[in-house]
A = this chain, B = another copy of it.
Amino acid sequence: MKKVKIALLGLGNVGRGVWMILNSNKEEIMKRSGYEVEVAKILVRDISKPRGVEVPLGLLTTDFNDIINDDEIKIIVEVMGGIEPAREYMIAAMDKKKHIVTANKMLLATGGDELFEKADKEGVMFNYEASVAGGIPIINGINESLTANKVERLYGIVNGTTNYILTKMAFDGLDFNDALKEAQEMGYAEADPTSDIEGFDSQYKLAILSSLAFGTKIKIEDVYREGITKIESVDIQYAKEFKKVIKLLAIVKDNDGRLELRVHPTMIPENHPLANVYDSFNAVLIKGNAVGDLMFYGRGAGDLPTGSAVVSDVVSILRSNIEIENLNPVVKNNLWVKEISDISEIDSKYYMRLTVADRPGVLGEISSVVGENNVSLRSVIQKGLDVENENKVTIVLVTHMTKEGNIKSAIEELYKLDAVYKINNFIRMEDFN
């Protein structure tokens, strides 16, 4: 059996998963890769920190030079996260013709170009399956299995924390703050949950997926972003009445060469496969012009699922004949140039919830304003009196397809009406047609 040495940068959650899998599934990995994989070194910041896993202390080092200068180490597994020094270490490793596996979504989404080009230049493999949707092989799916397709659309539930919160709100009737608290207690949400609940995490992932699916460079700021903090239980209740559920979707659509990229809470039909993705599970639905609808579903986070993606990336390097110099990896994000639409240009249906004066003629005033802005209403629901104030009622509007710009103008105009106290929420709807 041939042997190969690898090094881990980082031994947090994902690093621990990688270590555990390399040990418990040693035989599988050997048979499938043709190599016995030895972890020769693990870079950590603090050697004395407890790791929740038994690792021989001799493997741990705080000095990257121990790794970069060891010519026997052929593959670097970067699971430390963050921008620096992860970026610097990977560049240095590629200079030494070491192959790279990384799980670093933030770095890929913001500085992926440099890394792809460096790998191409040095003829080393650069794999990053674990950077999006944990154990779900969506990167490989796009890069290897959709090569015969023009991708038309992609919809993803790529953040487990927010999906857990929305599931709890829908099924257990929790409000946002209680659901968040529960997610934190369960370990699904960080102490500072901003990156998840404000949609930044999904934004990174959509940038990565889109750049691969469309073979083009996507910048983070090309992706419009809204989080789920504005979702109230009452919105979820109304969604149910329309046979919809609310999910934080990452969406990209190719409209004749112009891409619209957006992350926001979205009302989707309750019988759609994405609607049935619960708890912390992730899923990505891709529509290709040949394959039609294709969905990948699984665990988007966690030590072992993410570790599974990392280790499969290692196996894929071993199989691609590591002994050949200059493996000729393909840079996959520079095949096409695409224009990016502004969010105001998108077409969508919308749900709007308003608090208005409870007097005759209000519905008519609202309908007129909405109509004047070229928004056509599909349904209007007026429920009983608000508890807080006897003179106020809630009205829910659902529109037909319209430009987002029209909705924004309508909202501006609605605020000028005396009868409109507040536009509590507006949520985009998607029916996947």
A132 to chain B, nearest CB (A): 13
A137 to chain B, nearest CB (A): 3
Contacts of A273 in B (CB 8 A): 273, 276-277, 297
- From A66-74, A219-227, A307-315, A411-419, the one touching the partner chain is A307-315
Cβ < 8 Å to B, chain A residues 278-335: 281, 288-299, 302, 304-305, 307-312, 314-316, 319, 321, 328, 330, 332, 335
Cβ < 8 Å to B, chain A residues 191-227: 215
Contact (Cβ within 8 A) A144 B144: yes
User: Interface residue tally of chain A, by bracket?
Assistant: 35 or more
Contact (Cβ within 8 A) B148 A21: yes
Contact (Cβ within 8 A) B148 A308: yes
Given contacts A140-B140, A146-B312, A305 and B290 within 8 Å (CB-CB): yes
The distance in angstroms between the C-alpha atoms of A377 and B148, with both chains bound, is: 52
Name A298's contact: one of B291, B298, B308 (CB within 8 Å): B291
Q: Name which residue of chain B comes closest to A318, CB basis.
A: B147
Given contacts A31-B335, A289-B25, A297-B295, A319 and B330 within 8 Å (CB-CB): yes
Cβ < 8 Å to B, chain A residues 321-362: 321, 328, 330, 332, 335-336
A32 lies within 8 A of chain B by Cβ: yes
The distance in angstroms between the C-alpha atoms of A321 and B293, with both chains bound, is: 30
A93 to chain B, nearest CB (A): 21
Q: Name which residue of chain B comes closest to A141, CB basis.
A: B137
Given contacts A290-B135, A304-B291, A311-B290, A335 and B32 within 8 Å (CB-CB): yes
A223 to chain B, nearest CB (A): 23
Contact (Cβ within 8 A) A25 B149: yes
Contact (Cβ within 8 A) B135 A292: yes
Contact (Cβ within 8 A) B305 A292: yes
Contact (Cβ within 8 A) B32 A315: no
Given contacts A291-B305, A293-B299, A305-B292, A28 and B148 within 8 Å (CB-CB): yes
Contact (Cβ within 8 A) B135 A294: yes
Contact (Cβ within 8 A) A311 B148: yes
A102 lies within 8 A of chain B by Cβ: no
A33 lies within 8 A of chain B by Cβ: yes
The distance in angstroms between the C-alpha atoms of A150 and B30, with both chains bound, is: 12
The distance in angstroms between the C-alpha atoms of A358 and B295, with both chains bound, is: 49
A65 lies within 8 A of chain B by Cβ: no
Contact (Cβ within 8 A) A298 B293: yes
A235 lies within 8 A of chain B by Cβ: no
Q: Name which residue of chain B comes closest to A28, CB basis.
A: B150
Given A32-B215, A32-B330, A147-B315, 16 further pairs, Cβ under 8 A: A24-B289, A29-B148, A129-B145, A135-B291, A140-B140, A144-B316, A146-B308, A149-B308, A290-B305, A291-B298, A292-B298, A294-B297, A294-B298, A294-B299, A295-B295, A297-B297
A-B pairs with beta carbons under 8 Å apart, 7 shown = A21-B149, A31-B335, A145-B309, A149-B308, A273-B297, A291-B304, A292-B298
